[in-house]
Structure 1
Amino acid sequence: MSGDVPSSAATVIVGAGAVGCSVAYHLSELGAEDVVVVDQGPLPVTGGSSTHAPGIMFQTSPSKLQTKTAHYTSRLLKDAGVYDEVGGIEVARSEERMDFLQRRVEHATAYGLPDPQLLSPAEVTEYLPLVNEEEILGGYYSPTDGRVDGIAALRWYIEQSNADFYGHTSVTDFDVSGGEITAVETDRGRIDCGRCVLATNNWGYKTGQLAGLDLPIAPVEHQYAVTEPLPELADAEPTARVDTGDFEVPGDHRIADAMSRGPTRPVGRDQDNSLYFRTHGDSIGLGSYNHESLTVDPDAMGENTERRQASVRDFTDEHWERATHPDRDKSPKRAFEELLPVTEGKSFEATENGIFVFTPDGMPVLGETNAVDDLWTALAIWWTHSGGYGKILAEWMETGVPTLPSGPVETGGIHVDRFGPHAGEKDYFVDRGATQYRQVYNIVEPRWQPDDHRGLRRSPFYAQQEALGAEFYQAGGWETPQWYESNADLVDRYADAIPDQEGWQAVNRSPIEGAEHLHTREHVSMFDMTSFSSIVVEGTGAVDFLQRLCTNDVDVDAGQVRYSLLCNEGGQILADVTVVRLGPEEFVVTTGGGNSPGIHGGRLEQHAPETVSVTVEEGARSTIGLWGPKSRLLLQRVTDADVSAEGFPYFSAKRIYVGDVPVLALRVSYVGELGWELWAPTEYGSRLWETLWEAGQDLDVRPMGGGALESMRLEKGYRLWGTDIDSDADPFSAGLGFAVDMDTDFVGREALTEVQASGPDSRLTPLTLDDSTDVVLGGRPVLDGDESLGYVVAGDYGYSVGESIAYAYLPSEYADAGTAVQVMCEGATYDATVRDEPLFDAGRSKIRR
């Protein structure tokens, strides 16, 4: 649309690429009115990655959400007539990659993609006859993969949407007053608005800066080239839905022309060499991640000119002809010529170094920012997932419940506020973006850990832990021990109860984790909980405020503790928290580490009335979980407080001194044993550790890491936010009905009344393997014969119960104890049985002793 921009709009979307157009379309579908979309480029060929991308869509991912959004996108765009469903094939040139492709089948089966298949080399070349059969060991085929016609899809979105679109409109500033966005300033005028969506992808960091936000969006270049016409493809009849000559195209018109020509054969990947390919009519497009990470200063993302598309850089021959990727020993040129001999010696009719973006964890950035009310983000999203995330965001904005047609979706791993405070530092997120680029086609091991930007956040116990041989893992920037080499002697003590683990499931695991688990069940251990966060809620109306947000009754006596959930309007779980009442209008809410402080704390901050103060104390307190049957004996040695069962009952709290350290002590345990959480100001942390450690030597006190915590909590059926529970589950499905008091008026109650009345369609259910001690990994399908029932959300070996445990959401008719099912993992199919929970200490005598 041309003409002056309006002076006001209910919603302004910045960016008219795949994501912005998808959001506008889906808002229109929900009935939203007065939506304006602006973009600095011409329409529909904006000059962003949406129009220089080759549009290849491989749907299968280890992430359920990425798979679901990809499949929704492919169905939407197929129905729109702008998607070529030619299928997709990923080939293997190594045995390790064939194992990886088996995982592809398992993830696709788990998440509902139709008809995933492993192919022999001969079967691959039936679909892709130009592939050199001697170079491959096999392939993975997903018949609904394909290619989106980018320009045609953007045009379709614009035509189908009720929004008003304005090209050649650059955003120059945002008016952020009183912590909320009130207007978008453009070079064509000011637009007052009720809410705004940033869908600027490559320019995400720059536009975030205009609103005072440090969004960790790192632009990176990667290469694409289209060969001259090939005689072997002379009979190809490509789809051509648009004539690019009908549009204003920034920069090199040859790129847009080439991208408009559709494939006639399945799209392909050679991940062993970080390559992908598709046909463009009678030419072949060759895409390469097989070069060093070419990061772009996010402040240096320019604007379109007549000669240059801002998101395209010149093709760099050296990255094509030389092996520069740190994990690959062949150049892209050589690897392609081996796999597709027809490309040898051919010239290119179009080339580019196209720019797209990565976040530090490789996932999108979605949702409303806590720092600026009514400012929403939809960033770091590719064509593959753009339709799905546009749908999710539109539902989130309009109804408060992010959903796809298949149901509510998990948002913990994509939420804009999931990152730690350090993530917005440019060197950090650009380096981590480069790492994500490097890993796009790598085989990433279970529990893989980065080696850059380590040691950012260390608890006061770090020196003691390092001296004890801690194997540090990183979460949210925190260095958290997974196990301790100082406990290696325990492996011999408990050898009979620690089975050997082999293969992929055993990678980055240690038998010390099992030994720490068993030791804690018999003695006493100290667990570092400093990465967990406390949130202080106080002021007039604090109890009413928390009662409105929490599903459980938190109007309890001072000194009592409640486990509760926070739900959205649809009754899905936004958080699980521990609420401690300290006074008439004084509470401490504790939550986990990782993304919890930003998301859970942000939820409380956003909804607090003016009379209530919410302070997220991320890192302000250092915390030790003191757990095990000897924990009371140890704690009583170092405090004058009464810690007897009568004087300090389960799920209560006291302010006490441990030695001379002031502590908020909670009688709670995440491992199913007698114990306490001891929360102290960070500056006292080192002394707290020393005091407990020295007093417990004759009790054989030991440090305990995250590996033991995981297996112990699964034995007890304790839930983990972001793994077992997220915004795709309701409390009754998750087995957390006990944390819901339907007599209180909380957000989500109306929706949960219906679930409670009818019963949940699925239930989070423990399984144990019948005849194996192997560990089952997450994202693997649970089956009844050939029928996929669900997928594993968490699995580990239960060292106390002597069985391999897997938790899965299963249809309610399969969730009764004794039901026989199967679990597929790493090509093996295991017989398994549904069990009652908890598997360990069902009478809860240990935790209440």
Structure 2
Amino acid sequence: MSEETLPSHADTVIIGAGAVGSSVAYHLSELGATDVVVLDQGPLPVTGGSSVHAPGIMFQTSPSKIQTKTAHYTSRLLSEAGVYDEVGGIEVARSDERMDFLQRRLEWATAYGLPEPQLLSPEEVTDHLPLVDESEILGGYYSPTDGRVDGIAALQWYRENSSADFFGNVEVTDLDVTGGEINGVDTDQGRIDCERCVLATNNWGYQTGQLAGLDLPIAPVEHQYVVTEPLSELGGVETVVGDNTTGLDVPGDRSIAEYMSEGPHRPVGRDQDHSLYFRTHGDALGMGSYNHETLSVDPSAMGKNSAEQQASVRGFTEEHWEQPTHPNREKSAKQAFDELLPATVDAEYAVTENGIFVFTPDGMPAVGETAQVDGLWTGLAIWWTHSGGYGRILAEWMETGVPRLPSGPVDTGGIHVRRFEPHAGEKDYFVDRGAKRYEQVYSIVEPRWQPEDHRGLRRSPFYQQQQALGAEFYQSGGWESPQWYASNADLVDRYDERIPEQDGWQGINRSKIEAAEHIHTRQAVSMFDMTSFSSIMVEGEDSGAFLQRVCSNDMDLDIGQVRYSLLLNEGGGILADITVVRLDDERYMVTTGGGNSPGIHGGWLAERAPETVSVHIEEGAKSTIGLWGPKSRLLLQRCTDADVTNSGFPYFRAKEIYVGDVPVIALRVSYVGELGWELWTPSEYGGRLWETLWEAGDDLDVRPMGGGALSSMRLEKGFRLWGTDIDTDANPFEAGLPFAVDMETEFIGKSALEAATEEGIDNRITPLTLDDSTDIMLSGRPVLKDDEPIGYVQAGDYGYSIGESITYTYVPDEYASAGTSVQILCEGTVYDATVRDEPLFDAGREKLLR
């Protein structure tokens, strides 16, 4: 509903009344939240943001599970609301490569539960889309529940069905974040004190973040769309253009809102080979194009609505429509459309626009509570397609502490606003990376693709040595992390009989050297750069009690003891898997992964610590070497006076020692399932640590090892990887980690685990091995039983030590018994596979414990 006078106080203020802000308000109302206020600088419901200039097309299938799930939830919600046209969606292929990609679409849709996805012949495509020239295409992908949302009608529906108060034509001028928490929102019509605030400003996300002192990496870009005059080929279709916005205050060109509110009567379509999409608007045809150079907009200069212009719409740049300016497309948008849809060749355009929407550096949304400001939440970089789902997730997160959809908890690692690295807020960086994501929207991106710009930002102390050894660097969280080393090419010949060929899509951007490094580590000794991993120092008189409250395992540790544990949310979902080391009475070191772990996991610990406990996130402050392999003890003993024998330095113990003249916290821990240590030292000592070990291990054939070998070795051993095998969408019992939970202690999430145990655990993680193939399975591909999907590939690689291709998946309990036969659909091939007990390698832990 809407009010006329701003209140002086609200429990929650949502800034932005577009698709996301309105969805959050609606879902908060559903959950019983009261005293919610929604503000927008534009009129209601036609705010002038991307929600009202967008054509509303919703293609649900994505390689990302959460993107697919949120899209499907949105389509069901808006369909029930009566503001969604479920006309279906068809993506056409004009190349063999695209036809292969559409097969992947089919597999992702099957894996993630979309209804009745199917591949179509050219004739079947044109049965649905008769304007398409059949001779131009090789086939298509059809998702029957795709369609289009009427943006203006949906915004009206949200307002009418929410208990929140909506206010239009209100400009937010400042955010009061004194004391590290949100205290109020200042507007041109007065101040509203509040306990929570949600930034749902999308195109203005960077600017509103700046009001709170945050550098949110939200990059606006221009995007082209046209609507033709009525076409004779669409004659006879009923249209109400001219009446769709009657009585509404519309900034700028009213015809844009008019035509965007006109529904389609045929499936929405995409020609991704030319970065194009299209739909009918009654008897006219709308055509959208990513087929031009990226037109980035200064994120700090988005501007405001006026009578002449919507703030998020720029003037149409004809040259980008008629000339081929996209770096990867040979034809212009008009040329490609004219070939695919001949009826448009001589068509005049009733509407043209360069509409603005946003991208983050990795192309995913930015959702959750910010680390810097308590009570300040974001719902940014979200399109209509996913807006209903993310509104539900954000509302659940705010109200219950558990991000979820009706289907269950969701994984948040890839969407959390805290995942961004410290450098991500630099404007040139996120604008450039956002531009690249725009360029790639309809591109076929290869597995393991790596960006070329803004490289070398974060380098470990070993970087120079790694360069000299021919490291193939991959970027992870801004770190340059070796994937393999050219200096190990000789190992390929040594172990060639154990390294199968990897052909086709699965083999792209892979090297046999990764396999050779895996095998060599199991036979000798290797050094792995763990600098991108993070240490978190927890200190103070109440540090032990604090860790006991936040950790799922028993934290009653002796000095020098190491324990694996989990951090859980209130719903029992896995926020992180960590290693906790007690260094002395009041000093602990918590180690976790790299990438987004410091921001998400470290921040979660810091904000829950009492005043008597210090939590210091040492991102980049320590450099770390994983020294692993059967000869690792011999090498380490050469470099230290400390006792590193099995009895003197047992598994899962820690010591503060010297390696040469380098002070090190040594953990006898191994992520690859071999004898070994993690050696943590202040970064300034890192170079010397590498030199010391390297020189001492020369006659032991010590080698550097990259991330490719780590991936396959950890899967053989069944070690979990947060964000891949485990996340907030799984609890410890589903994830096969009961040993990391001590139900005799009190910890966050315990009540939820008790309830889950009582209800019964009916979904479990399990390894599969292929019966008669060495191919590597790719994530997001369906696992089948009797042709019905029962799960999907979480992670896959080849186990060079066991000689089998490994896949990890979650399946219903009835299929989780070893020996169960299943199938995996990957790249159009059905592979026979068998459920196995874990671990697949060294089940007796003889290698770890020797």
Q: TM-score range by the shorter chain?
A: over 0.9
Counterpart contact for 1:239–1:262, Cα < 8 Å: no
Q: Supply the AA of the counterpart residue of 1:205.
A: Y
Paired position in structure 2 for 1:99:
100
1:791 aligned counterpart, secondary structure: strand
Counterpart contact for 2:312–2:355, Cα < 8 Å: yes
Counterpart contact for 2:57–2:385, Cα < 8 Å: yes
Query: Cα offset for 1:243?
Result: 2.6
1:671 equivalent to 2:672? Answer yes
Q: String of CA shifts for 1:516-568, please: whole Å, max 9, x gaps.
A: 00000000000000000100000121111110000001121010001000000
Q: Supply the AA of the counterpart residue of 1:107.
A: W
Paired position in structure 1 for 2:185:
184
Paired position in structure 1 for 2:281:
280
Query: Cα offset for 1:59?
Result: 0.1
Counterpart contact for 1:658–1:688, Cα < 8 Å: yes
Q: Aligned equivalents of 2:830 and 2:781: distance in 1?
A: 10
Q: String of CA shifts for 1:323-359, please: whole Å, max 9, x gaps.
A: 0000000000000000000000111000100000000
Judge which range, 439-448 or 237-246, deviates more.
237-246
Paired position in structure 1 for 2:317:
316
Q: String of CA shifts for 1:561-594, please: whole Å, max 9, x gaps.
A: 0100000011000000000011122101000000
Paired position in structure 2 for 1:653:
654
Query: Cα offset for 1:239?
Result: 7.8
Q: Aligned equivalents of 2:787 and 2:59: distance in 1?
A: 24
1:299 aligned counterpart, secondary structure: coil
Q: Aligned equivalents of 1:188 and 1:768: distance in 2?
A: 64
Q: String of CA shifts for 1:288-311, please: whole Å, max 9, x gaps.
A: 000000000001100101101000
Q: Supply the AA of the counterpart residue of 1:431.
A: D
Q: Aligned equivalents of 1:506 and 1:238: distance in 2?
A: 51
Residues 584-595 of structure 1 correspond to what in structure 2 (within 5 A)? 584-595=585-596
Paired position in structure 2 for 1:40:
41
Counterpart contact for 1:152–1:241, Cα < 8 Å: no
Counterpart contact for 1:368–1:375, Cα < 8 Å: yes
Paired position in structure 1 for 2:445:
444
Paired position in structure 2 for 1:160:
161
Judge which range, 227-236 or 97-106, deviates more.
227-236
Counterpart contact for 2:241–2:258, Cα < 8 Å: no
2:300 aligned counterpart, secondary structure: helix
Q: Aligned equivalents of 1:399 and 1:585: distance in 2?
A: 32
Paired position in structure 1 for 2:120:
119
TM-score scaled by length of structure 1:
0.99
TM-score scaled by length of structure 2:
0.99
Paired position in structure 1 for 2:794:
793
Q: Aligned equivalents of 2:528 and 2:59: distance in 1?
A: 41
Query: Cα offset for 1:80?
Result: 0.1
Query: Cα offset for 1:767?
Result: 0.1
Paired position in structure 2 for 1:501:
502
1:246 aligned counterpart, secondary structure: coil
Q: String of CA shifts for 1:137-191, please: whole Å, max 9, x gaps.
A: 0000000000000000000000000000000001100111211001000010000
Q: Aligned equivalents of 1:381 and 1:843: distance in 2?
A: 48
Query: Cα offset for 1:238?
Result: 5.1
Paired position in structure 2 for 1:199:
200
Paired position in structure 1 for 2:70:
69
Q: String of CA shifts for 1:244-263, please: whole Å, max 9, x gaps.
A: 02200010001001101100
Residues 371-770 of structure 1 correspond to what in structure 2 (within 5 A)? 371-770=372-771
Q: Supply the AA of the counterpart residue of 1:346.
A: A
Paired position in structure 2 for 1:223:
224
CA, structure 1 residues 239+635, in 2 after alignment: closer, same or farther (shift >3 Å)? farther
Counterpart contact for 1:127–1:266, Cα < 8 Å: yes
Q: Supply the AA of the counterpart residue of 1:633.
A: L
Paired position in structure 1 for 2:235:
234
Q: Aligned equivalents of 2:53 and 2:797: distance in 1?
A: 44
Q: Aligned equivalents of 1:777 and 1:61: distance in 2?
A: 14
Q: Aligned equivalents of 1:59 and 1:24: distance in 2?
A: 23
Counterpart contact for 1:241–1:260, Cα < 8 Å: no
Q: Aligned equivalents of 2:331 and 2:244: distance in 1?
A: 37
Paired position in structure 2 for 1:772:
773
Q: How many residues align?
A: 849
CA, structure 1 residues 619+304, in 2 after alignment: closer, same or farther (shift >3 Å)? same
Paired position in structure 2 for 1:263:
264
CA, structure 1 residues 260+758, in 2 after alignment: closer, same or farther (shift >3 Å)? closer
Q: Aligned equivalents of 1:396 and 1:764: distance in 2?
A: 25
Q: Supply the AA of the counterpart residue of 2:531.
A: T
Q: Aligned equivalents of 2:641 and 2:757: distance in 1?
A: 46
2:704 aligned counterpart, secondary structure: strand
CA, structure 1 residues 696+9, in 2 after alignment: closer, same or farther (shift >3 Å)? same
1:831 equivalent to 2:827? Answer no
Which stretches in structure 2 are left out of the alignment for 5+ residues? none
1:11 equivalent to 2:12? Answer yes
Q: String of CA shifts for 1:454-488, please: whole Å, max 9, x gaps.
A: 00000000000000000000000000000000000
Q: String of CA shifts for 1:702-735, please: whole Å, max 9, x gaps.
A: 0000000000000000000100000000000000
Query: Cα offset for 1:241?
Result: 12
Moved over 6 A (4+): 239-242
Q: Aligned equivalents of 1:633 and 1:199: distance in 2?
A: 57
Q: Supply the AA of the counterpart residue of 1:164.
A: D
Q: String of CA shifts for 1:206-263, please: whole Å, max 9, x gaps.
A: 0000001000000000100000100110122358897302200010001001101100
Q: Aligned equivalents of 1:652 and 1:237: distance in 2?
A: 75
1:760 aligned counterpart, secondary structure: coil
Counterpart contact for 2:3–2:165, Cα < 8 Å: no
Paired position in structure 2 for 1:347:
348
Q: Supply the AA of the counterpart residue of 1:355.
A: I
Counterpart contact for 1:639–1:656, Cα < 8 Å: yes
Q: Aligned equivalents of 1:160 and 1:713: distance in 2?
A: 49
Query: Cα offset for 1:785?
Result: 2.0
CA RMSD, aligned part only?
0.8
Counterpart contact for 1:57–1:146, Cα < 8 Å: yes
Q: Aligned equivalents of 1:844 and 1:66: distance in 2?
A: 39
1:370 aligned counterpart, secondary structure: coil
Q: String of CA shifts for 1:425-470, please: whole Å, max 9, x gaps.
A: 0000000000000000000000000000000000000000000000
